[in-house]
């Protein structure tokens, strides 16, 4: 099993691959999810609330809120009662980190995971 490290890839700053190493074993690639990200926000002024619509997917919500689909995982991290493979029911209330705070949050997550 070897770590996939492609310095020439066009992975965005927010891609899941930046936080969880990708490994390959033969023809199978997988993430090492043993590093865990937990977001505990006690200050509600840092959160936007969002009600899902019938057309929402995790990618689409991330794109609408943050301008990139790559932050879909952050929405699910902040809403642990949701399941990644299942689209949210219309009208579901989600907590989302305010867009202007994303770079600070990503920096904090990166620092925590690199310890």
pLDDT for 30-84, tens place per residue? 555 545 566 667 777 888 999 999 999 999 999 999 999 988 888 988 888 888 8
* Domain assignment present for 74: yes
The separation between CA 72 and the C-alpha centre of its own chain, rounded to angstroms, equals 5
Residues in CB range of 73: below 8 A, 6 or more apart = 16, 84
* Domain assignment present for 39: no
Structural domain boundaries enclosing 106: 44-113
Q: Using only the alpha carbons of the chain, give its radius of gyration.
A: 15
* Domain assignment present for 77: yes
Q: Is the domain of 16 the same as that of 65?
A: no
Percent of the chain predicted with pLDDT > 70: 66
Q: Is the domain of 82 the same as that of 108?
A: yes
List the CATH number of the domain containing 61: 3.10.350.10
Q: Is the domain of 50 the same as that of 21?
A: no
Between strands 28-31 and 47-51, the pairing is: unpaired
Q: Is the domain of 84 the same as that of 61?
A: yes
Cβ neighbours, 10 Å, residue 17: 15
Global confidence as pTM = 0.69
In angstroms, the CA 37 to CA 31 distance is 14
């Amino acid at each position: 099993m070897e770590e996939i490290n492609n310095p020439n890839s066009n992975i965005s700053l927010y891609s899941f691959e930046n936080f969880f190493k990708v490994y390959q074993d033969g023809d199978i690639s997988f993430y090492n999810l043993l590093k865990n990200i937990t977001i505990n926000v006690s200050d509600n002024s840092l959160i936007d609330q969002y009600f899902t619509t019938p057309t929402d997917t995790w990618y689409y919500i991330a794109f609408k809120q943050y301008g990139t689909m790559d932050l879909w995982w952050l929405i699910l991290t902040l809403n642990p009662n949701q399941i990644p493979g299942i689209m949210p029911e219309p009208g579901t209330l989600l907590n989302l980190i305010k867009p202007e705070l994303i770079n600070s949050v990503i920096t904090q997550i990166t620092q925590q995971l690199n310890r």
